[in-house]
């Protein structure tokens, strides 16, 4: 019988589990139920209390490595923590959220345990055994992987499972001792960009995508870049949406986009950009060509605003297309959002 360990860690606040960790818990519960396997959850945290309490109803054995040394992500301490949890759980299948903290250490921990690892897992299926799915070639080819080697580590892509949300309560947690190696890295603090500069928000419900049309000459023969920037940022402020872009728009000024300075190549969605997962997406001033739209593959509900009634969106690429001027539509939308907030 397989035994399953889910590795989790807390967020920057230091006590609550990250959403991606809670998604991994759901994946672990589903897999354990299907295989009739035992489930253990390992928690890496400075203070384990809140995180463990949130997992009280998960029906799993809880292990933790906690203490001040684990407050900040750092290879030496995180790898030691994960290794200790894996050895204590002695699990055959190890699931972990594929965020920056565990991606950094997962391959090293797997090597220490003599195991194998697969990354970017989007689904785990299989009637008898374990079959892990991932996508290749910019989300165009899906592979289903099964392996005999154990322990088998699977790093899960965020947004592929529902986050576990059980009734919090008091719970028994086993503290796992870790012998830390000599630390050569000291975490002295965090420097994050200004809130306004953080336009890429993978956890947002909605994705707003800006296309090159925002910087093109409009019916009055003029460009209106400043107005475009204000409309886009106004929408982001009001909704907390994430900002994506077409390649044509981010290419306009290299990485220091002079027209809409809050955009960089990191915002690009598509074949040579990213493939985000949001419940809803709104494309504005973008033509909707295939190399761009391929990045929309996992967006739940797609809407687009384009002046061109023959654009790619109207040819089956969107659920709803508004053939309209995005300047006018977004101005009205922002006004309605402002009124709703007041
Ligand atoms: C190998 C390869 C990889 C690629 N990878 C990517 C990728 O990862 N991502 C990507 O985006 N592209 C990619 N492309 C480029 C892609 O093919 C398109 O060129 C690009 O997506 C076009 O961007 P756009 O729609 O913003 O610009 P345009 O094609 O210039 O379209 C602008 C649109 O805005 C509309 N518009 C103008 N003003 C308004 C207004 N006031 N209101 C409403 N609509 C308005 C116009 O009608 C037009 O439809 C790739 C191409 C290749 C060959």
Domain hosting 121: range is: 3-175
Q: Whose CA is nearest to atom 31 of ligand 1?
A: 287
Residue of the nearest CA to atom 53 in ligand 1? Answer: 291
64 and 160 in a single domain? The answer is yes
Q: What is the pLDDT of residue 203?
A: 83
Residue nearest to atom 14 of ligand 1 (CA): 291
Q: Does residue 64 sit in the same domain as residue 144?
A: yes
Across-strand partners of 158? none
Average pLDDT, the chain: 93
DSSP label of 303:
E
- For residue 284, report the distance from its CA to the centre of ligand 1, in Å: 10
Q: How far is the CA of 309 from the centre of ligand 1 (A)?
A: 14
Is 70 inside any structural domain?
A: yes
Q: Could you report the per-residue pLDDT of 79-125, keeping only the tens digit for each?
A: 999 999 999 999 999 999 999 999 999 999 999 999 999 999 999 99
How far is residue 341's CA from residue 284's CA, in Å, rounded to a whole number? 23
* Inside any domain, residue 182: no
Number of domains in the chain: 2
271 lines ligand 1 (CB under 6 A): yes
- Determine the pLDDT at residue 260: 86
174 pLDDT above the threshold of 60: yes
- Give yes or no for residue 193 having a pLDDT over 80: no
Alpha-carbon radius of gyration of the chain: 23
3-state DSSP call for residue 46?
coil
Query: Using a 6 Å cutoff on CB, does residue 260 contact ligand 1?
Result: no
Q: What percent of the chain shows pLDDT beyond 90? A: 82
What is the rounded CA–CA span in Å between residue 157 and residue 123?
9
How much is the pLDDT for 19?
92
Whether residues 163 and 213 share a domain: the answer is no
Does ligand 1 come within 6 angstroms of the Cβ of 326?
Answer: yes
Kindly state if the Cβ of 209 falls inside 6 Å of ligand 1: no
Q: What is the pLDDT of residue 30?
A: 97
Which of 81, 62, 57, 48 is closest to 6 using CA atoms? 62
Q: How far apart are CA 212 and CA 130, in angstroms?
A: 44
Domain shared by 8 and 93, yes or no: yes
294 and 155, same structural domain? no
Residues 6+ apart with CB under 8 A from 226: none
Closest residue by CA, ligand 1 atom 41 = 325
Give 2's pLDDT tier (boundaries 50, 70, 90): confident
- Name beta bridge partners: 95: 6, 154
CA atoms within 13 A on the CB side of 183: 15
Q: What are the pLDDT digits (tens) for 264-322? A: 889 999 999 999 989 999 999 999 999 999 999 999 999 999 999 999 999 999 999 99
Domain end point (choices 175, 210, 225): 175
The answer to whether residue 22 is domain-embedded is yes
Query: What separation in Å is there between the alpha carbon of 211 and the centre of ligand 1?
Result: 6
Q: For the domain that residue 134 is a member of, what is the CATH number?
A: 3.40.50.620
Q: What is the percent of the chain with per-residue pLDDT over 70, rounded to a whole number? A: 96
Is-cis flag, bond preceding 315, omega within 30? no
From residue 269, how far is each of 2, 189, 263, 288 by CA, in Å? 39, 31, 12, 11
- What's 244's domain CATH number? 3.40.50.1220
Quick check: is 190 in a domain? no
Backbone angles phi and psi of 238, in degrees to 5: -75, -30
Residues, the chain, total? Answer: 342
Q: For residues 116 and 109, what is the distance between their CA atoms, to the nearest angstrom?
A: 10
| CA-nearest residue, atom 24 of ligand 1 | 286
Residues near 224 by beta carbon (within 8 Å), at least 6 away in sequence: 218, 327
| 196 Cα–ligand 1 center, Å | 25
Q: Does residue 246 sit within a domain?
A: yes
The ligand 1 atom at the shortest distance from the C-alpha of residue 212 is 26
For residue 249 and ligand 1, the question of a CB distance below 6 A is answered with yes
Q: What is the dihedral of CA 116, 117, 122, 126, to 10 degrees?
A: 10
Please work out whether the CB of residue 218 comes within 6 Å of at least one atom of ligand 1: yes
Say how many Å lie between the CA of residue 240 and the centre of ligand 1. Answer: 24
**CB distance 99 to ligand 1 below 6 Å:** no
68 within a domain of the structure (yes/no): yes
């Amino acid at each position: 019988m397989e035994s399953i360990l889910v590795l989790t860690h807390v967020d920057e606040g230091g006590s609550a589990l990250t959403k991606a960790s809670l998604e991994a818990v759901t994946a672990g519960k589903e897999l354990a139920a299907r295989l009739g396997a035992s489930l253990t959850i390992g928690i890496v945290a400075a203070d384990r209390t809140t995180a463990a309490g949130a997992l009280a109803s998960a029906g799993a054995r809880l292990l933790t490595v906690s203490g001040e040394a684990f407050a900040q992500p750092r290879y030496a301490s995180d790898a030691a923590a994960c290794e200790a949890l894996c050895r204590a759980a002695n699990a055959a299948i190890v699931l972990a959220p594929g965020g920056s903290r565990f991606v950094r250490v997962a391959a090293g921990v797997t090597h220490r345990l003599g195991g194998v690892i697969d990354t970017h897992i989007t689904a785990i299926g299989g009637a008898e055994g374990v079959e892990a799915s991932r996508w290749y070639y910019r989300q165009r080819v899906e592979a289903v992987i099964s392996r005999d080697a154990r322990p088998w580590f699977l790093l899960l892509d965020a947004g592929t499972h529902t986050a576990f949300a059980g009734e919090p309560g008091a719970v028994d947690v086993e503290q796992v001792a870790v012998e830390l190696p000599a630390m050569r890295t000291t975490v002295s603090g965090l420097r994050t960009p200004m809130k306004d500069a953080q336009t890429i928000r993978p956890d947002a419900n909605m994705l707003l995508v800006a296309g090159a049309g925002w910087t093109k000459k409009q019916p009055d023969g003029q460009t209106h870049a400043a107005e475009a920037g204000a409309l886009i940022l106004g929408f982001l402020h009001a909704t907390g949406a994430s900002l994506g872009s077409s390649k044509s728009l981010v290419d306009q000024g290299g990485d220091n986009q002079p027209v809409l300075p809050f955009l960089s190549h990191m915002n690009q969605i598509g074949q040579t950009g990213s493939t985000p997962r949001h419940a809803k997406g709104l494309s504005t001033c973008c033509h909707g060509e295939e190399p761009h739209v391929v990045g929309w593959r996992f967006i739940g509900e797609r809407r687009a605003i384009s002046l061109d009634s023959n654009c790619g969106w109207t040819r089956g690429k969107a659920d709803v297309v508004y053939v309209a001027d995005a300047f006018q539509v977004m101005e009205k939308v922002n006004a309605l959002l402002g009124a709703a907030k007041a």
